[in-house]
Amino acid sequence: MHSRPSPSRQSGFSLIELLIGMVIAIEILIAALTIFDVHNRMARVQLQVTDMQQSLRVAQYDMVRTTRMAARGGLPIGPGTPPRFTVDNTTLSVPWLRGLAVEARDNVAEGGDNFVKLGTAEPAALPGTDILTVRGCLSGLLFQMDATNPAAFTGATLTVQRNLPSGRSQDLTELLEPGFSSPMLLQSSVSRSQYAVAEVASVAGNANSVVLTITFASALSPPNPLVVAPPAGFVPGFACALEEYRYYIRPTFITDPNGDLQLSPRLARARMIPGTELAHDEDDANLTLDLADEILDLQVALGFDTTYGGAFDDDADAEGADDLFFEGADDDARKADDWLGNSSADNPTEGQYQARLYYVRISTLGRTARRDPKYVAPDFDPTAGEDYIENNNYDASPASEYKSGVNRQFRHRLLRTVVDLRNI
Residue-wise pLDDT for 175-223, tens only, equals 999 989 899 999 998 887 788 999 999 999 999 999 999 999 999 988 8
Helix (H) or strand (E) holding 31: helix 15-68
Contact predicate 296/412, CB 8 Å: yes
For residues 266 and 139, give the distance between their C-alpha atoms in angstroms, rounded to a whole number. Answer: 23
Contact predicate 369/377, CB 8 Å: no
pLDDT (0 to 100) of residue 17: 75
C-beta neighbour count of 110 within 10 angstroms: 13
Q: What is the pTM of this model?
A: 0.86
For residues 299 and 331, give the distance between their C-alpha atoms in angstroms, rounded to a whole number. Answer: 15
Give me Rg for the CA atoms of the chain.
31
Residue 133 sits at the vertex; the CA angle it makes with 330 and 279, to the nearest 5 degrees, is 150
Strands 96-98 and 86-88: antiparallel
Nearest to 238 by CA among 164, 145, 137, 157: 145
For residues 252 and 246, give the distance between their C-alpha atoms in angstroms, rounded to a whole number. Answer: 18
Contact predicate 368/315, CB 8 Å: no
Q: Tell me the residue length of the chain.
A: 424
Outline where 287-343 has alpha helix (H): none
For residues 124 and 367, give the distance between their C-alpha atoms in angstroms, rounded to a whole number. Answer: 20
pLDDT (0 to 100) of residue 12: 67
For residues 100 and 97, give the distance between their C-alpha atoms in angstroms, rounded to a whole number. Answer: 10
- For residue 288, the Cα-to-chain-centroid distance in whole angstroms is 13
10-residue stretch averages of pLDDT, the chain, 424 residues long = 57 75 84 75 76 92 94 76 46 54 90 86 93 93 91 94 92 92 91 87 95 93 88 91 96 79 91 92 93 94 74 55 74 85 85 79 93 82 75 89 87 93 79
Helix (H, G, I), strand (E, B) or coil at 285: helix
Nearest to 410 by CA among 373, 356, 362: 373
For residues 383 and 390, give the distance between their C-alpha atoms in angstroms, rounded to a whole number. Answer: 14
Helix (H, G, I), strand (E, B) or coil at 75: coil
pLDDT (0 to 100) of residue 278: 92
Nearest to 100 by CA among 74, 123, 64: 74
Burial (Cβ within 10 Å: 0-12, 13-18, ≥19) of residue 285: exposed
pLDDT (0 to 100) of residue 94: 45
Contact predicate 401/407, CB 8 Å: yes
From residue 16, alpha-carbon distances to 11, 20, 22, 181, 280 in Å are 15, 6, 10, 88, 81
pLDDT (0 to 100) of residue 314: 59
Nearest to 95 by CA among 350, 300, 356, 347: 347
For residues 3 and 221, give the distance between their C-alpha atoms in angstroms, rounded to a whole number. Answer: 123
Residue-wise pLDDT for 286-297, tens only, equals 999 999 999 999
For residues 89 and 177, give the distance between their C-alpha atoms in angstroms, rounded to a whole number. Answer: 39
Peptide bond into 82 cis (omega under 30): yes
Residue 140 amino acid letter: G
Domains of the chain, by residue range, sit at 50-82+246-266+288-420, 143-241
Q: Give just the sign of the alpha carbon dihedral 80, 85, 87, 88.
A: positive
